[in-house]
Structure 1
Amino acid sequence: MKTRKILPYLLLIIGAVVMLFPFIWMVSTSLKAPVDIFNLNIIPENPTLENYIQVIEESMFIRWFINSIIIALITTLSVVFFDTLVGYIIAKFSFIGRNILFILILSTLMVPTEMLIIPWYMMSSELGWTDTYWGILFPGLMTGFGVFLMKQFMEQIPEDLLNAARIDGMNEFAIFFKIAIPQVWPAISALAIFSFLSNWNAFLWPLIVIESSSLRTLPVGLSYFSSGEAESQWHLIMTGATISVIPLILVFILLQRHIIKGITLTGMK
């Protein structure tokens, strides 16, 4: 019995170590001097913060960081609002072509992002969106996955609850904001995390649509540390990556309890 109890914890500890090791190595490398980068010591012999000072002072890292924050926040808010609204409409309203519309939205999930790059770029060029914030933003303002996720959760809201609100005189937007949204907070939290992560880590599209160095996002800016601008200085790459992880950790810490609550409630239902 003791072995059966210990074994799952042992496997979880091993899995956690394997998953955390790249992160630990990244942080360790960011604290090493350039001459010590390829040493196999996990704990730096002579830890230094010089790499962080160099990244911040000798590049546009702060500007890239702010650009990524702006883009990730705007797209996340847009995805949460519009995907939740569309999911609510499809789940709770009957209209001609509802199922066809939902199938068309789902079909967008089958199209690889790489196939959309050329149409996006042609549209951006024609409308003058290249090398602008809007050019980076517009492909991620709504997602088919978000609509699907929110529709599935919206269907669980009892119709009697919504009808009772209508009888009390509430309009549809008030019902949406005051009745529907509080019922699906766990799903909204999960959608917000997924959206923030994908837009924070987006690389290919910002790399193509942006030309000015001042408009680069953080992943695009970090890629130039491994090009001719920084001659593949791995200590700077690891330092920038370490800083870039901080917002992701904060977002997860703030929203994880809602996801856990949602999983618990779903299991009870």
Structure 2
Amino acid sequence: MDNWAIYANPARALTDVTIACLGAGEYRGSHEGFRGRKLRSHAVVVISEGSGWYSSPLTGEIRVEAPALLWLFPGVAHGYGPHRAGWTEHWVLFSGAATGALDELGAWRRAAPVVSLDRMPESLPTTFERLHEHLADGSSVGALRASAASYGWIADLAAMTMPDSAPDLIDALTRGATRQVSMETRAHELGMSVPQLRSATVSATGLTPLQVLIESRLARAQSLLVETDLEVSIIAQQVGFDDPSYFSRQFTQRLGSSPSRFRREQRRMPSLADA
């Protein structure tokens, strides 16, 4: 396998309606890794051979053993790298409106970015052959085909890692975080009373149900602020806040900067291509 990395700047229309592929690559070796990097988009990294580590302020340092994948989110500080013997990785950088649907469907868990795989997807070689071909093409058609291939790849990975049984309480609660319904309705849908929901949530996370919902909404808001040009008030509504002022206060209190300032700062950060 030859190491390669190709980046793209697809048409805005792709980002507005689906998944846009911003780049992809394959790497085999033992680079030193990095820490504290932030991306302006989503990314998925699949480790097919070898071992290494992943770190973030939320998770601390986690050992990564192939086969495994890493979900990376815009604006979230992280680092990863192989151990001395090296590893093999395949990565895709992506953005777009469809990331919201993937988020809601539970394609990934932001609190658990490292996912162990039972096996490698059989589609890996052909997917990256196509991505290399389509991205190297450089045309609008190539960008469209690369984005379609990326979406299929991401869907394959999500299907391998999403639970096939009923989701656990916290997953079920956060997947519906953007819905503006009462806590009584949420508890009823989960087959619980409000006190039972509160007790179970605090026991599992140390947070109340409302705090869990707010954290999930703000995590989604960070992605929208970095990846789209939507007005802050529209983003507030899309992630589940009916009062933009309350959204801004919560965002500022938890993240230390206003939504507008966060957007400006994150968009000045280097992309994966510049890292």
Alignment TM-score > 0.5, same fold:
no
Identify the structure with the greater helix proportion. 1
With the length of structure 1 as denominator, give the TM-score of the two structures.
0.24
Identify the structure with the greater strand proportion. 2
**Greater Rg over alpha carbons, structure:** 1
With the length of structure 2 as denominator, give the TM-score of the two structures.
0.24
